[in-house]
Chain A
């Protein structure tokens, strides 16, 4: 079956630092999505990527769709306390089917 590996598993950073996380897949994806989940809440969509090589920003967040279509990364610049949470990557092999999720990256920001 498909494997979607997300790393790192957790990150402890100081406020103001940049954060970087990535996901790799054993299969070719045609969509990459990045979500953030706060405790007790549902995942919230941060960035959607549709084309290989695509680089998309949303405020301090930047994500890229890898050229091989088997990987994606998410960067958070100048982290702030509200960036705390679990970040998930998700990918699809077709337009309509299920999203495969990574195991998540827990981000902890200290003042």
Chain B
């Protein structure tokens, strides 16, 4: 039973480019959460999605960031016009809808 799959593991983008991060939840999980982690810091909540719906985006920056979880396919976190401050590790977690959440290995975004 595969775990939460995130790709790419590492992503390098120049300032002003777009970054697309993908997350495939565990089989049977319909809840997806995205978190951002800066070096030496904890995980900061960004957005919570269920299939085709954004449930809570209170941690998402108002501009340049968007997320989706379509009926078919992975969840996507999209960052437009990236800046150096977007460099971080982005983690996705999935849940079947009960209390537990399982994390992927993350995507390390570096903006040069």
Contact = CB atoms under 8 A, between A and B. Distances in A.
Contacts, number: 59
Contact of A99 (B4, B55, B101): B101
B43 A33 contact: no
Contacts of A35: 103
B103 A88 contact: no
A67 interface: no
Interface residues of A, number: 23
A88 B33 CA distance: 17
Interface of B: 4, 6, 31, 33, 35, 41-45, 48, 55-56, 58-59, 91, 93, 97-106
Interface of A: 31, 33, 35, 41-45, 48, 50, 88, 90, 92, 95-104
30 contacts: A33-B99, A33-B100, A33-B101, A35-B103, A41-B106, A42-B4, A42-B6, A42-B91, A42-B104, A42-B105, A43-B91, A45-B101, A48-B99, A50-B99, A88-B42, A88-B43, A95-B97, A95-B98, A95-B99, A97-B55, A97-B56, A98-B33, A98-B45, A99-B33, A99-B93, A99-B101, A100-B45, A101-B45, A103-B41, A103-B42
